[in-house]
Amino acid sequence: MVHMKREDLLDFNFDWHDDSTFKEALNESGLSEKEKIRLRDERMRRLELEALKEESGGYDDYYDDDTAEETAAEDDIPAEKKTEKAKKKNAEDNSVIVSIKEDYPIRKIAVALMMSVFIAILPYISYLHYQSLTNLTAKYFSSEKGKITDWFLFQKEFCVVLAAVILSGLFMVDEVFFEKHWKDIPLRKKSMRLPVILTGVYALLLIVSGIASEHKELVLMGIVKHYEGLLGVLGYLVIFLMAMNYFCDTKSLEIFSWAMIITTLACAIFGEMEYNGHALQETDFMAHLMAPPEEYEYATMLRSTSSNVHITFFNSNYLGSFCGLMFPLALALGLGSKDVIKKILGIAAAAGIAVCAVFSNSTGGLYSIAASCVILFLIYLVYWCRNLINRQASLIGFITAVAVIAGGAAFVLNTNADIRQRVDTIVNNGSGQKMTVEERRQRLAKDHYVLKDIRQEGSSLVLDDYSGNSITVTYTAPESGNNELKYYDTKGSELEMSTDNDRYERAKDKRYRNCKFKWLEKTKKLTINLGYDKNLIFAYEDDKFKPFVHGMYTQDKINSYKGPEFFKKDLRAVSGRYFIWGTTISMLDECLFIGKGSGNFVTVFPQYDYVSLLEVYDTPAMVVNKPHNWYLGVAMDSGVVSLLVLLTMLGAFLVTGIRNVLIHPVNDSLKHLRIGVLVSVTGFMLVGIVNDSYVCVSPVFWFIFGVGWYAVSCNKVIKTN
């Protein structure tokens, strides 16, 4: 007999009626004794059922709930009720929800409850953390006290890592000491193999990249102001796997639904509070929770310097990402609930989080919500056409919602100038008045020397502007009666200079009126004032001018933009992201198989690209510490291959979701949850184009992603009380 697969044995895909065949298959199966006993019992049960069928005349009515009296009474039931009952019966037959004889283990529901509560409160966890600057991090971040104060990021990552360790321990205890049969856990289902394998590959590439990293001190917990290190990302993956494993019963999914609605509603309320001047993180109550007693006074001085709402998400863009993630999920859960309270709270949470996105001024967040609205409308339109939702009620609800939203939006925009300005800013992507690149340069040229290029040529420094002018600075060893610096124009003629009261030298030629120089012979430092708030500083070392950055060290060369020409046309586009994206893309050839390691982006990005920084931010002193793109961040941290793994995971989820939610939907009580998680993940994927992965939001995404993968795969869901 050919050795059969384990799945064929457990699913009885062989001639199990024959005693000799069954015994031979059992002996060669390699199953545990406990599994063999269960297989024998199941065979006996099936044989008994077949015997009962024969006694009943060949009809399979053993589990029929309709007795003779009930069937006879149906003759008097109106046709409409018969149709409704038939639809209900058909829905139950098509449902993925199944009942089991024994009680579902309460410990599994307890783990699901613990995960849901943790994820719901994680975005609001805040506590004081001091991070001392090292010789490495001091090159990119400054602090008078030599340490960076963090309120919103480090403790969240610490909690994620701790939760991942606890969940891993509970999983091991549950499966080893209680279940004792690893092969029957939800993660072993065929539909779960792909995400499990891809998660393992992704984790492996993360670890290898971290080991190969040049600056290993930044790998585990990440760098200051972006605490998302190797341990944090591995924590996300553990949460993802545990969500797939423990949210496979109706009670756990109900807990998940409530947790997501409540945390969304809480965020909407906190956003409204902050917009009206009562920020959650600035209250006396939070001051006690966010710092030890000796730092209480310091906590009471915490104030936001931005008009954009960010709550405890550190940055308004990350609040926008959260809004884009939670809006479709809360709305779908609210629409699909039969519980009136849950329906009201879900819809209110969705409406509130959409308003919160406006308060945050996050372009990505609001665009994600807009895209989610379109996708949800299309899905529900398909369901309406297929009669999968109540046509009359949904049509009335849709018309009412459109009328209320349109009327409310019109009223707010007409009566609230601040909201109107915020919407205008978001729609115009950071600027109420758009102008071309050339128009902006011409405007700046009135009182700035607008750099087109700055480069080292031997012992000289050359500065070009967009008007075709060049000024060359040359240093010569000081001699009696001679000036140490000489300046030359585009044609190589020496420029006549004048000195002002601040000892700055300026050319008398009007072409260079906005360019001033100050030279300190003692320190060999050249300060260049181009009309901006901050100056360029160069140190003369090794017979050439080197950028002197952060007041600490020199760079051997002047960095310049080397990315795709597509982005170079307007480096300021998308709030300066074109500059960062283009530069990051130019480095990907160094990260094909493994990346630079978590937390190392700031150390490998070509900082102090003066021309680009002045073009984009009007300052030469900006440090770029993140790629402002989730996908580019993954490629830089763990390699292009790991990015392909992640994209495969997301793509497989979308394909599965489209097939099981849109093309061949299952009409049961979980259909709205499937719609919600599918659109939620899609929304986060969209906002990931303009925002990074951050510890304030990413754990929530991976949690929803895990629950969603199990749900949209249409695996069997156990019915629990």
pLDDT tens string 336-364: 999 999 999 999 999 999 999 999 999 89
Within this chain, do residues 211 and 325 fall inside the same structural domain, yes or no?
A: yes
Asked whether residue 143 is assigned to any structural domain, the reply reads: yes
The per-residue pLDDT for 79 is 55
Domain boundary among 431, 464, 493: 431
| Element holding 471 (H helix, E strand) | strand 470-475
- The structure tokens listed for 458 are 């031997």
Whether residue 314 sits in one domain with residue 289 = yes
CA nearest to 694, candidates 328, 320, 401: 320
Residue 449 has what pLDDT? 96
pTM of the complete model:
0.85
User: Is residue 551 included in any domain, yes or no?
Assistant: no
562 within domain boundaries: no
- 379 and 496 share one domain: no
- Looking at the structure, tell me whether residues 80 and 215 fall in a common domain: no
Q: What is the pLDDT of residues 113-126, one digit of tens each?
A: 999 999 999 999 99
Kindly report the number of other CB atoms within 10 A of residue 607's CB atom: 20
pLDDT of residue 479: 65
- Residues 364, 273, single domain; the answer is yes
Q: Do residues 188 and 238 share a domain?
A: yes
Among 87-101, 418-432, 447-461, 607-621, name the one with the lowest average pLDDT: 87-101
Average pLDDT, the chain: 88
On whether both 469 and 455 belong to a single domain, the answer is: yes
Q: Cα–Cα–Cα angle for 307, 535, 515, nearest 5°?
A: 120
217 lies in the same domain as 270? yes
Rounded to whole angstroms, the Cα distance separating 457 from 242 reads 58
pLDDT of residue 707: 97
Domain end position, chosen among 510, 531, 552? 531
Strand order in the sheet with 470-475: 451-457, 460-465, 470-475, 485-488
CA-CA distance, 192 to 240, in Å (whole number)? 12
Q: Say yes or no: 59 and 87 in one domain.
A: no
Residue with tokens 């999968």: 388
Per-residue pLDDT, 78: 60
Q: For residue range 55-112, list pLDDT tens digits in order.
A: 444 434 333 444 444 444 445 556 555 555 555 555 554 567 776 656 788 899 999 9
> Torsions phi, psi of 562, nearest 5?
-130, 20
Is the model's pLDDT at 415 over the cut of 90? Answer: no
Q: Tokens for 329?
A: 């999920």
Q: Report how far residue 224's alpha carbon sits from residue 384's, in angstroms, rounded to the nearest whole number.
A: 50
If asked whether residues 56 and 7 sit together in one domain, one would say yes
Distance CA 588, CA 596 (A): 10
547 vs 550: CA distance, rounded Å: 10
Q: If you search the block for the tokens 């030279």, which residue do you land on?
A: 519
Tokens of 594: 């493994």
437 within some domain = no
Rounded Cα–Cα distance for residues 418 and 432 (Å): 13
Specify the pLDDT at position 491. 94
> Residue 226 — φ and ψ, nearest 5°?
-155, 65
pLDDT at 63: 38
How many residues belong to the chain?
A: 721
Q: Do 403 and 348 share a domain, yes or no?
A: no
pLDDT at 432 over 60: no
pLDDT (tens digit, 9 = 90+) per residue, 449-477? 999 999 999 999 999 999 999 999 999 87
| Rounded Cα gap, residues 232 and 103, in angstroms | 35
Amino acid 369: pLDDT:
95
Q: What is the dihedral of CA 507, 509, 514, 520, to 10 degrees?
A: -10
| Residue 238, domain member (yes or no) | yes
Q: Both 238 and 364 in a single domain?
A: yes
Tell me if 201 is assigned to some domain.
yes
How confident is residue 478, by pLDDT bands cut at 50, 70 and 90? low
Across-strand partners of 545? 540
Calpha distance 281→99 (Å, rounded): 46
Give the span between the Cα atoms of 248 and 96, in whole angstroms: 11
Q: How many domains does the chain have?
A: 5
Residue range of the domain that includes 396: 390-431
